A and B are shown apart, each in its own frame.
Chain A
Amino acid sequence: MTSTLPATRIVEVRAGILRKNDELARALRARFEAAGVFVVNLVSSPGTGKTAFLEWTLTALHQRGVRVAALVGDLETDNDARRLARSGAPVRQINTHGRCHLEAEMIEAHLDGWALGELDVLFVENVGNLVCPASYDLGEALRLVLLSVTEGEDKPLKYPTMFNSADIAMITKADLATACEFDRAAAGAAIESVRPGMPVLACSSRTGEGLDEWLALLDRRRSHWRTQWPAPGVVPSPATSSRTVP
């Protein structure tokens, strides 16, 4: 018999699996902060009305003189980008070719040629999916999760990771709430259960209900963010996280 020496060795390692994305997202966040552009990542399941909501928001902000732009993620087609371009804001499509989420490198690749310093707010419409986009930081300052009244009040309990990673929840299609027997209190309780203290708004892109409140909240968040990063061009301290909100 030959001697039985230990054939294998277990080596302790500590490495984040998504470190490449996370490092890129951190670099993007620093770049957005230096340029003074407030980036909002819109996440939701498919059919929540993200594009209609964004169309309304872009148009309203554009008319008010806020310099807005949008990156629109989609598995296939540029239907949404063409729809959004009607707002007058610059819009670019990110075709993920079947990928179920956006990653930081896709954002970076689509910023070429845009003068970020000439933008105030950049919206990123993520792929419609309540699971996968939660894992990927895109360097955004604010993550908005949309939940439509047609989906049921318990979606936040079923998809806690996504709701937990968001900063604001928006209930969409509020004009259909009665027809869907949507229980606003139950939805609010579900959101509170997975993300204590997160603000919950409701709106209808069809009637315009609740959208002024959204713009006011967006403006407050952006103002607060700008007090952290007051002058475009100033390199921010890397230690501070822009995800911290009062």
Chain B
Amino acid sequence: MHELSIAQSIVEVAGAEAARLQATRILTVYLAVGRLSGIEAGALQFSYDLVTEGTVLAGSRLVIEDVPISIYCAPCGALRELPGVNRFRCPVCDTPSGDIRRGRELDLTGLEVDERVAATCETLSPVNGTDAMTGVPERPA
């Protein structure tokens, strides 16, 4: 089961993006997973919950977009979506094609970040003394 390794890679990649966005909490991770990527969504979800513990992704939701396989059919001169994963023939004219244009993706496509927490980073600076969670100015200690 390599989904555990994949989940660890998600933590690395999404964690780096979160840092770039200066977000300290991620609520949702959006992934595009091609049917030819070799990833089993259930196993990935299971692994994800394990490896995100204690990270910026802890408790976040993993939303997986299933990307079907598209091939280019030369006789038709068109992209054709395949109904399955084990018959690489044009569903219209039945010509074999190994020219795969979609379906191999394993991409991070989006992140849902908590704005209130993102605001915390700013509000902790001495310039702005507003409570991050409530937006209410902090009382002096």
Contact = CB atoms under 8 A, between A and B. Distances in A.
A15 B16 CA distance: 10
B137 interface: no
A192 B96 contact: yes
B86 A160 contact: yes
Contact of A16 (B100, B106, B111): B106
Contacts of A93: none
A10 B13 contact: no
B83 interface: no
B98 A135 contact: no
A68 interface: no
A163 B28 CA distance: 33
A interface: dominant SS: mixed
Interface string B11-33: 01100010001000001101100
B5 interface: yes
Interface string B102-139: 00001111111111101000000000000000110000
Contacts of A185: none
Contacts, number: 117
Interface string A4-40: 0111111111111111110000000000000000000
Contact of A11 (B1, B10, B21, B85): B21
Query: What is the interface residue range for chain A against chain B?
Result: 35 or more
Interface string A165-187: 00000000000000000000000
Interface stretch (A108-116, A139-147, A194-202, A214-222): A194-202
B112 A99 contact: no
A5 B13 CA distance: 29
A197 B74 CA distance: 15
A162 interface: yes
